[in-house]
Structures are given as C-alpha cells and as structure tokens.
Amino acid sequence: MAPSAITPVSAAPDHRPVKLAGKATGQNETTNDVQLRDVETTSLVLRTFRCLIADLCEQFKGGHPGGAMGMAAIGVALWKYVMRYSPENPSFFNRDRFVLSNGHTCLWQYTFMHLVGYTNMTLDQLKSYHSTRTDSICPGHPEIEHEGIEVTTGPLGQGIANAVGLAMATKNLAATYNKPSYELVNNKTWCMVGDACLQEGVALEAISLAGHWRLDNLIVMYDNNQITCDGSADLANTENVNAKMAASGWEVLEVADGNNDVDAIVAALVAARSSCSGKPVFVNIKTTIGVGSKVAGDAKAHGAAFGADEVANIKKASGFDPEKHFVVSDTVYDFFGDVKSRGRRLENEWRELVSAYGDEYPDLASEFALRVKGQFTQDWANLIPAKEDLPTAPTASRKSAGLVCNPLAEKMKTFMVGTADLSPSVNMIWKDKVDFQHPDLRPTCGITGDYTGRYIHWGIREHAMAAISNGLAAFNKGTILPITSTFFMFYLYAAPAVRMGALQRLQAIHIATHDSIGTGEDGPTHQPIELAALYRAMPNLLYIRPCDSEETAGAFLAALSATSTPSILSLSRHNLPQYPQHSRREGVARGAYVFIEEADGADVTLIGVGSEMGFAVGAREVLRERFGIKARVVSFPCQRLFEMQPREYRAEVLRYGEGIPRVVIEAYAVNGWERYAEAGYSMSSFGHSLPGAAAYKYFGFGEEVIAERVSAFVGEVKREGMESMRGEFRDLNVGRGEH
C-alpha cells in the first residue's frame, strides 16, 4: 500500500482507521535510502533482538523484557529506516528527536543504539543493565546524562509531554530561522508510548495541546499491547483511543501486525513523516508483549526475567543455540551497517546548508549560531533594571517580576514564556508579545499568533506546562529557556515535572505567584502552607522567595545564572513594602544575608522571608520600642543558595555559636527552618478564606503579637540559657488552626 493511499482515521466516516499491512517499498523521497527489505534477514534481526533482550534480563534476574521484545519490529522500522540521526554524533543539531515515554522498556532503545553503532553503547555496556556497575550508561530508565538520550523518562506520561516540547522547539526555531530553500531546522520528534502513558493526566493534557498547536512534526507511536502490570488494559480502560485522539486533533494511523510486519510499520511511519494533514500523528501499532515467549500477551512478561529454562526455549524456537548468550551475528550488524554513513551524510548536508545560509543571511546566521551554542543573543544582565530604576512604592512581587522579566523576554528570543491561563494575574506579558499558535487559527477562530511566537497559553494544564517545558529546554542546552507561570499552590499539580527538570538539570524559571495566605479570599485551597517544604528539599532546585522589587531582580539574576538548575520564584499577590536601605540583589545570590544589623550587640536574630519580611521588620521596631530588645534581621530568600556558601559566610549571617537566638517568621509550615533557627513563628494548619490582610491577622501574623511572643522567648533564653533552648525547637505561633 502506497503511503498516499493511507486514509487518516480522523477523516474516515466511521472513525475506524484503515489498517496498514504489507509491502511499503519505502522508496519515497521522505524516507531514508532504503533497499527492498529482505524477509529472511528481517526475521533474523527480530529473533536476534528478542533473544538478546531475554538474555540481558536473565543475567541479573530482572528488568522489563516484554515490552522491548514486543516493540522489536517498530525498532527496526524506526532506527534503520525512518529516523534521521547520526549515531556517531548523537547531538547533531537537526537530528530527529526520539523519546521513549514508556521508559521501562529502555533496553529496547539501548539495544538498537548498540546495533546501529552509537559509539559508547557497546555490548559490554548493554550487559551492565541492572548490574552493580556504577559506570553503566544503561540505567533502569533512560537518563539524559547519557549520549543519545534526549530526556530522562520513567514516570509515566512525562515523556510524551516532553516530546510535545521538543516538537514545539523545532516549530519555533524553524519559524524564526528557516528561509526558502534553507530548512535549517526541520527535524521530527518521534515518541514511543505504551498503554500506561495514554492513561496519565499529564499525557492527556499534552495531547490536547499538541492537537491544538497542530504539531505535524510530532509522531507518537503507540505500542498497543493492551497489557499493563495488573493484566489486560481493559481492567481500567475501555475507551476508544483512536476516536479520542482524532477528537483531540490528531491524525490516526493503525498497523495491524506490529510484531512482524516491518514493512507496514515503515509505511505508516513514512506516511506520518510526510503527512499533509497538518496534525500530529498517532500511529496505533498492535503488538504482543513478550512475543516469542510462553508468557506472550501476559502481564507476566512485563517486569520480570523469564527464567533460564524459558530463555532457552525462546532461543530454540527462534532457531538459535540455547547454550549461547548475547549472540549477535555479523549479518545482523551488517543489516544496520548503512546507518552510520547515512548519519554522516545528513550532518554534512546540514553543515553545508548552514554555511550557505550564512552567506545569504549573515545576521540571522550569527544569531542562529549563538542559539545552537546555547548562548543568549543579548547581554541580558544589562537588561535587568538597576536598583534605582525599581519602584519605591509598595509593590506586589508578582508585579516586580513582570518589571524585571518582560524587558528580557521582549529582547531575548531564547525566552519562551507561558502561563497556565493566568495572564491577568502573573504579569508576564511584554510589549508586542506574539503568541505561540498555529497561524491558521486566526481565520478559523480569531486567535492571533504564529510559530515564531514566544508567549504560550498553556490552558489550565499546570502539569503539562512544566513537562512540556522540560522538552523545550531539552531540545538543545541553552537554546530555549522556558518560563512557566501559575499560582504557587498549583505548582503542586506540576510537581512531578518540576522534579524531572531538576533531575535532568534543565534550566527553567517557574513564576509562582499568590505564594502565601496573603492570597486571601480564594481560601485554603489556594493558600500554600506545606509546598515550600517540598521545593526546599528537592535537589538541584532553587526555591527563591524575594521580599521586594530589588530582591526580585536578584532572584532573576540567580535563576538566570543557574544554567543547569530550574528555579521557582515565589511571589506575592499583595503589595509588599520596599526596603531600599536593606535589600540587595547580591544578597539573594548568597541565599541569605544580613538585612539589618545591630552593630553593638543583638538580643535576637529575626529571619524574614519573602512576602512576610514586613512582619520581621515591623516586629523588630516593636521589640525595640515596647520591649527594649535589639533584633537584627536576616533576609533569607533561598535555602539552597545559602547552603552553597562557605561556612564562614554562613556563620557570619546566622552568628553560629554566639548565643543569639534566632526566630524565623514565615506563614508556612516551619519544617526545615529548624536548621537555621531555635524558634519559628509559622503556620500549623491550612489557611482560611479571608481577605489577605485579614487572613494574616486571623493566623496571628501581626507585628505586635509577633513581638510579644519573641520577647517572651528572648526572656526565656536569657533566664535559662541557650543550651536549654536548642534541644527543643519552639513554635511561637500556637493556638491557631489544628495539626
């Protein structure tokens, strides 16, 4: 069946996709240079691959063999025939991106990477899967640290969202830099998913967005084996997946025999690559988990080795010697022998193209070169307002963030800024911003924008916003800086993806507004209490709570400087006082700093944090005037940055061992602050629906009451000594809410 004869399901009257089967020649300008496929050799490759998988799982009695075996033919179609990449240079800029969303089948990817000739992926390395070797590049799920892996996957649903981001990156770069006859960026993104990924909410959000944006450079291959850990997928899912994808704006193709019919898979993938539907393509490929084993089609094939006897049986049935292990014949290696040279040719053609482009469009070419290198195209530090240019009147830090970020976003094509449907609240819109949209939406529903656009309306999809942003950042280090935004509380929805960004060392800036009970009337569902504890504990993440406009500028400086680390900027809804005498952006970079010193001896150190700094500064005044107590104030916007400072600096800020008690004041659960203080004035319950100022008051946040409690605490320390204090952390704000 010729690709052109494939009928997309979304246009079929009965919503059933036309089945693809049989002999695609692949001799098509949109595919690679493919010879007519030799049935015998193909069979040998599939059998060899499956036995190798069985052996690799058997050696340490673990791993996920079934999915990898079931996807063997898909792998042949993809890695040998359809995907464009260069095994000897896995980071070739215009390579097709591949994402294994069903990451537990990673052995499938590792093994094809070995067969096609990724330099580091030796047979010895394959054998390190599930071993105790700490030099393994074959971990239990694919990890971005290793060459040829585009994104770390494993938590289900993340990968397909990442793939949407990778496809968006291509669209944006292509729209920005491509010129007639110069398709500098035209790679496809291929994503493999299983039954599980398609059930996860984050995937469903991302699927809706890919359809909305008409990302026709994205091809999702569905390993439809209908088996999950519990058994038949029907146990929990009986929907019409094809119809759902079509309703979400996807083209749907189907392959009936994904176990063996490499030709049909190639035909489908070629059709997908060259589709003119203007839609992302969903290729539903029917496979059998653990095909070739006695547990084929059974959940038992999913997550355990088969046992030595069954591995022997599989080999016998495959026509191999059951006594031999890890066998790959030269015929099999030869089968993939053309992939490397093809990759070199792709690279060379691209380099020549870029070179010719440079002659014709020298300015754009220079800018493009910077983007490829992951460098900003402007001197960004100078675009951040100086202290004297910041507002002096009380200002919400969400507004300060806009003042700092929007001029940057206007100038820096690297920035892609979006919001989970909170544009009016998060202040991230810059002058003349263009939306990232498919241009055809203008005539059909009046939506403006195009693929050069860098402002993203994510809809009410916080999780996909962060997960897709990971894909944007992963396209090529530094080429795109994703900036997301929503209320801080809803970064709990996004948390699994924020974590994956931190784990992968992908820079991103998350603008988290409405960060305290000061959020007000929306009530406890919208008032974060415990969320900061998560993000302060998360490795490789900067959770930064600035207290005024100057510290907000400092927060952006810190976040922009952390090129392998995502940041959350935690910002107020309500106006915050400005502290021009005290606040310093350089202090933010150090995590904490002395805000107000008491030169001639202090009785107590008050730790002020972000949106609640006003209570520390106010309580200090009351302590002095009403109680004759001298309080120094430390501003503490970021614990992780502080931990990175030398001990001398930390000792100076917190006065280690000087017998001055420290009290942290923050309207969150205090968990974690005990490291820096002997007492806390904090929250021990969820919040309450009241106007912001009233909510603070309701929970005892007022300078008078805080000063009274601190004064009593300082008195106790003076009477009983620091020693008695420090074994037992003191909660000074008791009697409100419940535990």
Does 655 engage in binding with a copy of itself (CB under 8 A)?
A: yes
Q: How far is it, in rounded angstroms, from Cα 545 to Cα 384? A: 18
Tokens of 465: 């916003």
Does 644 engage in binding with a copy of itself (CB under 8 A)?
A: yes
Does 727 engage in binding with a copy of itself (CB under 8 A)?
A: yes
Least Å distance, CB 233 to a copy of itself, is: 8
Contact 681, 710 (CB under 8 A): yes
Within residues 191-220, the interface with a copy of itself by CB under 8 A covers 195-197, 199-205, 208-209, 211-212
Distances (CA, A) of 57 to 46, 53, 64, 121, 445: 17, 6, 7, 17, 52
Tokens of 234: 């029907």
* CB burial of residue 64 (10 Å; 0-12, 13-18, 19+): buried
Pick between residue 4 and residue 238 the one whose CB is nearest to a copy of itself: 238
Binding pattern to a copy of itself, positions 357-396, x when CB under 8 A? Answer: ----------------------------------------
398 is in an annotated binding site: yes
Q: How far is it, in rounded angstroms, from Cα 218 to Cα 165? A: 10
Pairing of strands 281-286, 251-255: parallel
Q: Which residues does residue 292 pair with via DSSP β-bridges, in sequence order?
A: none
Does 286 engage in binding with a copy of itself (CB under 8 A)?
A: no
Q: How far is it, in rounded angstroms, from Cα 108 to Cα 98? A: 13
Least Å distance, CB 629 to a copy of itself, is: 19
Does 575 engage in binding with a copy of itself (CB under 8 A)?
A: no
Q: Which helix (H) or strand (E) holds 49?
A: helix 39-59
Least Å distance, CB 291 to a copy of itself, is: 20
Within residues 114-173, the interface with a copy of itself by CB under 8 A covers 130-132, 134, 136, 139-141, 143, 152-157
Does 90 engage in binding with a copy of itself (CB under 8 A)?
A: no
64 is in an annotated binding site: yes
104 is in an annotated binding site: yes
Residue that is written with structure tokens 């009965």 in the block: 14
Within residues 678-717, the interface with a copy of itself by CB under 8 A covers 683-686, 688-691, 694, 698
Whether 462 sits among the annotated catalytic residues: the reply is: yes
Coil, helix or strand for 419? strand
Q: Which of 92, 150, 31, 444 is nearest to 278 (CA)?
A: 444
Does 1 engage in binding with a copy of itself (CB under 8 A)?
A: no
Does 349 engage in binding with a copy of itself (CB under 8 A)?
A: no
Coil, helix or strand for 544? strand
Does 657 engage in binding with a copy of itself (CB under 8 A)?
A: yes
Does 276 engage in binding with a copy of itself (CB under 8 A)?
A: no
Among 421, 598, 708, 716, binds a copy of itself (CB under 8 A): 421
Among 307, 322, 391, 496, binds a copy of itself (CB under 8 A): 496
Does 652 engage in binding with a copy of itself (CB under 8 A)?
A: no
Binding pattern to a copy of itself, positions 529-558, x when CB under 8 A? Answer: xxx-xx-xxxxx------------------
Compute the Cα dihedral for 500, 505, 508, 512 and give only its sign: positive
Least Å distance, CB 325 to a copy of itself, is: 20
Residues contacting residue 338 through CB under 8 Å, at least 6 positions apart:
33
Within residues 42-71, the interface with a copy of itself by CB under 8 A covers 60, 62-63
Does 303 engage in binding with a copy of itself (CB under 8 A)?
A: yes
Does 728 engage in binding with a copy of itself (CB under 8 A)?
A: yes
Least Å distance, CB 707 to a copy of itself, is: 23
Pairing of strands 542-544, 508-513: unpaired
For 422, phi then psi, to 5°, come to -130, 35
Does 501 engage in binding with a copy of itself (CB under 8 A)?
A: no
Pick between residue 103 and residue 292 the one whose CB is nearest to a copy of itself: 103
421 is in an annotated binding site: no
285 is in an annotated binding site: no
Q: Which of 493, 543, 565 is nearest to 157 (CA)?
A: 493
Tokens of 448: 């403006």
156 is in an annotated binding site: yes
Q: How far is it, in rounded angstroms, from Cα 420 to Cα 484? A: 8
699 is in an annotated binding site: no
438 is in an annotated binding site: no
Coil, helix or strand for 26? coil
Q: How far is it, in rounded angstroms, from Cα 193 to Cα 215? A: 17
Q: How far is it, in rounded angstroms, from Cα 288 to Cα 494? A: 33
Q: Which residues does residue 270 pair with via DSSP β-bridges, in sequence order?
A: none
CA triple 462-504-541, angle to 5 deg: 65
Among 21, 353, 370, 492, binds a copy of itself (CB under 8 A): 492
574 is in an annotated binding site: no
130 is in an annotated binding site: no
Least Å distance, CB 371 to a copy of itself, is: 26
Distances (CA, A) of 280 to 60, 209, 256, 454, 599: 39, 10, 20, 20, 65
Binding pattern to a copy of itself, positions 436-465, x when CB under 8 A? Answer: -x---x---xxx---------xxxxx-xx-
Least Å distance, CB 309 to a copy of itself, is: 21
Does 419 engage in binding with a copy of itself (CB under 8 A)?
A: yes
292 is in an annotated binding site: no
Q: Please tell me which residue in 150, 254, 462, 550 is annotated as part of the active site.
A: 462
> Binding site residues for thiamine diphosphate, as ranges?
104, 154-156, 225, 302, 490
> Binding site residues for Mg(2+), as ranges?
195, 225, 227
The catalytic residues are: 462
